[in-house]
Amino acid sequence: MGRRQIFAGNWKMFKTYNEAVELAKGLSAGLNKAGGREYVLFPPSVYLKDLSSLCAATPFVTGAQNMYFENQGAFTGEISPVMVKDCGAGFVLIGHSERRHIFHETDENVNRKVITALFHNIQPMICVGELIEEREKGETSAVLNRQIRGAFSGIEKEAVSTISIAYEPVWAIGTGKVATPEMAEDAHIVIRKIIHELYGDEVSNSIPILYGGSVKPDNIEGLYKMPDIDGVLVGGASLEVKSFLDIINVNFNKSSS
């Protein structure tokens, strides 16, 4: 069925400039380039321009970890979609759980950012996921419904082809508590069903849905083998050359499965 397969590393607020350059060089030197995979690095935005230049000759593309939804203005500390583009980034993470929970981003903020990214031809990777309390109360589907419907509000079917979704249960991010492949697959099916309700067969069959949350070399294979998991968004394990290569070089080919 040929969905896009995306392997992404979110470096969060880690690395000095020299360390970031070394990491990118080490990754491009060790990549196996399995057929049809896409690779995205989300470095801190101050390194975005240099990392984009460095990655230009490699299979990696860059993305911003966040951006504001205005093109310019008196918004101290923010970066705009125009700047993201200007730095050579192709993607932007929108609504990462750390943005939602530490910086109080709402579903409405997320929606405005998605619309802005699409307008500027930056591919939005929308992050969604429930808190542990929400999962324990059986609210996972309700949370995913609210987040997905909020993020896609007012966006026409014709506009969604460059959007990807990352399902990242908040309780699994940076905690070492990974969702089992079955739990992740169940949530991906819920997300695909919501997308189906919004946009129908074609979009729901083709939209890439990535899993994120304590993805490591020893759990990637089990997760990636699940039929609705179209790649991964990796935090901690993307900060070292070896662990990220062991993930992105995982020896399982979706397109031939």
Exactly one of 10, 123, 140, 243 binds ligand PGA (CB under 6 A); that residue is 10
Query: Phi and psi at residue 209, in whole multiples of 5°?
Result: -120, 115
Known catalytic residue at 158: no
Known catalytic residue at 120: no
CA 16 from centroid of its chain's CA atoms:
22
From the list 151, 114, 113, 154, the residue with the least C-alpha distance to 129 is: 151
Which tokens go with 153?
A: 């509000």
**Cα 78 to Cα 61: distance, rounded to the nearest angstrom:** 22
**Cα 233 to Cα 126: distance, rounded to the nearest angstrom:** 11
Q: Which residue among the candidates 105, 130, 168, 185 is catalytic per the annotation?
A: 168
Asked whether the beta carbons of 28 and 55 are under 8 A apart, the reply is yes
169 sits near ligand PGA (criterion: CB under 6 A):
no
9 sits near ligand PGA (criterion: CB under 6 A):
no
168 sits near ligand PGA (criterion: CB under 6 A):
yes
Q: Looking at beta carbons, which residue is closest to ligand PGA?
A: 235
Nearer to ligand PGA, 98 or 199 (CB): 98
Asked whether the beta carbons of 215 and 229 are under 8 A apart, the reply is no
233 sits near ligand PGA (criterion: CB under 6 A):
yes
174 sits near ligand PGA (criterion: CB under 6 A):
yes
**Cα 211 to Cα 213: distance, rounded to the nearest angstrom:** 7
Query: Phi and psi at residue 39, in whole multiples of 5°?
Result: -125, 130
Nearer to ligand PGA, 134 or 199 (CB): 134
Q: Which residue among the candidates 38, 96, 105, 188 is catalytic per the annotation?
A: 96
243 sits near ligand PGA (criterion: CB under 6 A):
no
Of the candidate spans 53-61, 82-90, 147-155, 230-238, the one that interacts with ligand PGA by CB under 6 A turns out to be 230-238
Task: Provide the minimum distance between the beta carbon of 219 and ligand PGA in the complex, in angstroms, as a whole number.
Answer: 10
Written as one letter, the residue type at 237 is: A
Instruction: Report, as residue numbers or ranges, the catalytic residues.
Output: 96, 168
List interacting residues with ligand PGA (CB under 6 A): 10, 168, 173-174, 212-215, 233-237
